[in-house]
Amino acid sequence: MTLPATVAELVRDFRANGRIVIVGASLAGLRAAEALREEGFTGSLTIIGDEPYEPYDRPPLSKQVLKGWVPADHTKLPRMREVDADWRLGVAATGLDRAAKQVRLADGEQVPYDRLLIATGTRARQWPNPTEAALQGVHTIRSRDDAARLRAALAEPPSRVLVIGAGFIGSEVASVCRELDIPVTVVERGSAPLVGALGGVIGEIAAQMQRDHGVDLRCTLGVSSLEGDSAGHVRRARLSDGTVVDADVVVASLGSIRNVEWLEGSGLAAGFWGVGCDAGGRAFDINGVVTDSIYVAGDVARAPHVLYEYEFLAMEHWDNAVFGAEVAAHNMVNLEPHYRPHLLVPGFWSGQFGVNIKSVGVPPFGDEIVFTQGSVAGRSFAAAYGHRGRIVAAVTFDHGKWLEHYGKLIERSAPFPPPPPGWDRPPDMKPMPAEFPEPGVPTEVPDVVLTGHAPSERTAEFRPRRH
């Protein structure tokens, strides 16, 4: 047989009889499994997930579930097709042996693979003081159990809720509290809500929106400590300016931590910002060499993006998990030149205080912002972000129909400020600084993070020069 014929035969054989293991049984893991079958993979498929539940959707948890409209166990994801997999739910992967090509499970079992997909996502960052974090009434929200617990606490109802961190999730929690007529205090270290994701100009609008809805918003402040009563229930928080807030429910929405601990010692480029991979989802090893058999998708992946000067992006967005999973699945069962790139123009939505906030592109990549449509006072507008004279992102408040238009401008790297639309023009179309905090500061996700180069993670094996 000729070499190409042998290779083609190998691919055929792998698709028919190969073993694929997916670690992480959530949005990315499920969609990848479905896409693998769609691609014609008929070999064995094992899906390992540490949660006891079949894959469910997270965005409703901080919205309709908290509000009490939808029960927390009602967000099971719809299935696109049969996946015929061996599901190992309720057991964590605890190690990866790349030499033996095996995943180690918490129950001691070793699961062999020919190709592996890492889709272990992120978890909520807990309140840093463990004793205070263990007080009853202190919550985080990532899983459906978290949402069920917090929902039950809100139903009591509490006398006041304290939200620590005004990213998207913290802001959504505050919004639900106000809809339920529960007093809420929001403490944010940054200058305004959403400032990490959308910058200070938009943050100021979000701040006003929160205050108009009766949120007691305190920015540029931290929470120094939480105090409980003798029964171990949280009662109050001490802020960095010495003031005290009485609250019987505390929601720490401090961003997320990537689930990469199980990869320690595997020699993969896994660290604080996730697992580094190429734009096709193939994982890098610690030396920056791409692997052939290990792929990454979803919140835990970080990949270079052509539109953003090949900077490594970690995108904690729903559409990134879906699209990244499809791309990784395709590439797992194909060979060059049939690889597909994961070139998503990221999109995000958040419903809060009755306003539909959406973004496209990567706002923190921009340094300038210009309002292009609508009215800020009416909280119904579109704004574009620019970097070095081109448009890199846009945000809309109740102007979602326009997002696609901006998405197309971003794909084309159209000039910034973009040409003014024919109508619905705001009075002032002058670009101004977008006011993002210093890069590299962890933000209150879900968000897109420009992860750049992390010198602290320098673990490469430098090769001695031969003389």
CB distance 273 to 283 below 8 Å: no
Q: Which one of another protein, ligand FAD, none is in contact with 211 (Cβ closer than 5 to 8 A by kind)?
A: none
User: Is 58 in contact with 122 (CB distance < 8 Å)?
Assistant: no
One residue of 211, 233, 338, 401 binding another protein per CB under 8 A = 401
Distance CA 252, CA 163 (A): 6
354, 389, 420, 452: residue in contact with another protein (rule CB under 8 A)? 354
Footprint (CB under 6 A) of ligand FAD, residues 348-377: 348-350
The residue (of 339 and 349) whose beta carbon lies closer to another protein is 349
| 299 counts as binding ligand FAD under rule CB under 6 A | yes
Cβ-based neighbour number of residue 145 at 10 Å = 15
Contact with another protein (CB under 8 A): which of 2, 4, 5, 78?
A: 78
> Which stretch in 69-77, 317-325, 362-370, 394-402 sits in contact with ligand FAD by CB under 6 A?
317-325
Give the C-alpha distances (Å, rounded to integers) separating 161 from 62, 232, 335, 426. Answer: 15, 17, 53, 37
CB burial of residue 276 (10 Å; 0-12, 13-18, 19+): buried
Q: For residues 378-437, which are near ligand FAD according to CB under 6 A? A: none
Beta carbon of residue 341, minimum distance to another protein (angstroms, whole number)? 19
Q: Which of 10, 40, 76, 227 binds another protein (CB under 8 A)?
A: 76
By C-beta, is 162 or 370 nearer to ligand FAD?
Answer: 162
Does residue number 213 form part of the binding site for another protein (CB under 8 A)? no
For residues 121 and 260, what is the distance between their CA atoms, to the nearest angstrom?
Answer: 9
Closer CB to another protein, residue 273 or residue 318? 318
Interaction pattern, residues 17-36, with another protein; x per rule: CB under 8 A: --------x-----------
Phi and psi dihedrals of 347, rounded to 5? -130, 150
Q: Which amino acid is at 50?
A: D
- The interface with ligand FAD within residues 26-85 (CB under 6 A) comprises 26-29, 48-51, 58-59, 61-62
> Measured from the CB of residue 249, what is the shortest distance to ligand FAD in angstroms?
16
CB neighbour list of residue 18: distance below 8 Å, 6 or more residues apart = 41, 43, 44, 114, 115, 333
State the nearest-atom distance from the C-beta of 344 to another protein, in Å. Answer: 10
Nearer to ligand FAD, 26 or 210 (CB): 26
**Binds another protein (CB under 8 A): choice among 200, 298, 347, 364:** 347
> Among 148-156, 236-244, 311-319, 355-363, which window interacts with ligand FAD (CB under 6 A)?
311-319
Q: Which residues pair with 349 in a beta bridge?
A: 358
Check residue 145 for interaction with ligand FAD (CB under 6 A): no
Which of 120, 291, 373, 443 forms a contact with ligand FAD (CB under 6 A)?
120
The item of another protein, ligand FAD, none sharing an interface with residue 140, based on CB under 5 to 8 Å by kind, is: none
Q: How far is the CB of 5 from ligand FAD (least distance, A)?
A: 38
Q: Which of residues 433-462 bind ligand FAD (CB under 6 A)?
A: 446
Beta bridge partners of 217: 186
Contact pick of 63, 189, 302, 387 for another protein (by CB under 8 A):
63
Residues that bind ligand FAD (CB under 6 A): 23-29, 48-51, 58-59, 61-62, 92-93, 119-122, 141-142, 169, 259, 262, 298-299, 316-318, 321, 348-350, 446
